[in-house]
Structure 1
Amino acid sequence: MKRRDFLCAAAGAACSLVPKLAEAGADSLRHKAEARGLVYGCAVKSRNLRDDAQFRAAVANEAGILVPEYELKRQFIQPEPNRYDFAAVDFILQSAARDDQKARGHTLAWYDANPAWLPNALNDSTTAAAKAKLLTEYIAFVTKRYAGRMHSWDVVNEAVEPDNGRSDGMRSQSIWYEALGEDYIPLAFHAAKQADPHALLFLNDFGVEAPIRWNDRRRKALLNLLDRLKSKDVPVEAFGIQGHLHPYRDGFDAKVFARFIHDLEGYGIKLMITELDVSDRGGPDDPQKRDADVAAVTKDFLNVALESHQTLGVLTWGLTDRYTWLSTSDKYKWPDGQLPRALPLDGILARKPMWDAISNAFDLAANRMQ
Structure 2
Amino acid sequence: MSKLYLQRLLSRRQFFIGGISTATAIATLFLTKLQVLSYLIYPFKSEAGKLADLQSRKFVVVGKKSLQQRARSKGIIYGAFPEADDRKFAKDSEFRSKLVSECKMMPVGTYWYTHRPKPDTFDFTSSDYFVKFGTENKLLMRGHPLVWHEFLPDWVAATVTKDNAKQILTNHVETIVKRYAGKIHSWDVVNEGIDISKGRRADGIRNSLWMKFLGADYLDIAFRTAAKADPRAKLVYNDFGVEYDSAGYDEKREAILNLLQRLKSNGTPIYALGIQSHLFGDRHPFKPRKFQEFLKNVASLGLKIMITELDVEDRHLPKDIAQRDRLVAAAYEDYLAVALAQKAVVSVTTWGLSDRYTWLAGHNFRADKAEKRPLPFDRNLKPKLAWNAIARAFDRAPKR
- TM-score, structure 1 as length reference: 0.90
- In 1, Cα distance between the equivalents of 2:274 and 2:100? 23
Query: What whole-Å deviation, never above 9, does each CA across 1:276-315 have from its counterpart, x for those lacking one?
Result: 0000111223222121111112111111111111111100
Matched residue count: 355
Q: Relative to structure 1, is the Cα distance of residues 312 and 222 closer, same or farther in structure 2, using a 3 angstrom cutoff?
A: same
Following superposition of structure 1 onto structure 2, how do residues 117-156 of structure 1 map, counting pairs within 5 Å?
117-122=155-160, 125-127=161-163, 130-156=164-190
* Matched residue SS, 2:372: coil
- In 2, Cα distance between the equivalents of 1:339 and 1:95? 29
Aligned to 1:221: 255
- In 1, Cα distance between the equivalents of 2:45 and 2:189? 37
The Cα shift of 1:18 comes to 8.7
The Cα shift of 1:343 comes to 0.7
Confirm or deny that 1:291 pairs with 2:325. yes
Out of 192, 197, 200, the residue aligned to residue 158 of structure 1 is 192
Q: Relative to structure 1, is the Cα distance of residues 15 and 305 closer, same or farther in structure 2, using a 3 angstrom cutoff?
A: closer
Q: Relative to structure 1, is the Cα distance of residues 237 and 264 closer, same or farther in structure 2, using a 3 angstrom cutoff?
A: same
- In 2, Cα distance between the equivalents of 1:10 and 1:217? 31
Cα contact 1:327–1:334 (8 A) shared by 2: no
Which has the higher mean CA deviation after the structures are superposed, 138-147 or 156-165? 156-165
Greater than 3 Å deviation, 4+ residue runs = 5-20, 249-252
Confirm or deny that 1:38 pairs with 2:76. yes
Confirm or deny that 1:114 pairs with 2:152. yes
- Unaligned 5+ segments in structure 2 are 1-41
Aligned to 1:66: 106
Q: Relative to structure 1, is the Cα distance of residues 250 and 132 closer, same or farther in structure 2, using a 3 angstrom cutoff?
A: farther
- In 2, Cα distance between the equivalents of 1:41 and 1:184? 29
Counterpart residue identity of residue 356, structure 2: R
- In 1, Cα distance between the equivalents of 2:154 and 2:274? 27
- In 2, Cα distance between the equivalents of 1:190 and 1:57? 37
- In 2, Cα distance between the equivalents of 1:249 and 1:364? 22
Cα contact 1:6–1:251 (8 A) shared by 2: no
Aligned to 2:37: none
Aligned to 1:349: 381
* Matched residue SS, 2:340: helix
Aligned to 1:365: 397
Aligned to 1:28: 66
- In 2, Cα distance between the equivalents of 1:289 and 1:299? 16
- TM-score, structure 2 as length reference: 0.84
- In 2, Cα distance between the equivalents of 1:32 and 1:281? 29
- Unaligned 5+ segments in structure 1 are none
Aligned to 2:310: 276
- In 2, Cα distance between the equivalents of 1:275 and 1:6? 26
Counterpart residue identity of residue 182, structure 1: A
Which has the higher mean CA deviation after the structures are superposed, 357-366 or 281-290? 281-290
- In 2, Cα distance between the equivalents of 1:126 and 1:293? 49
Following superposition of structure 1 onto structure 2, how do residues 301-316 of structure 1 map, counting pairs within 5 Å?
301-316=335-350
Out of 123, 132, 145, the residue aligned to residue 85 of structure 1 is 123
* Matched residue SS, 1:85: coil
The Cα shift of 1:61 comes to 1.1
* Matched residue SS, 1:66: strand
* Matched residue SS, 2:187: strand
Out of 20, 42, 45, the residue aligned to residue 4 of structure 1 is 45
Q: What's the Cα RMSD here?
A: 2.3
Following superposition of structure 1 onto structure 2, how do residues 224-239 of structure 1 map, counting pairs within 5 Å?
224-239=258-273
- In 1, Cα distance between the equivalents of 2:242 and 2:222? 23
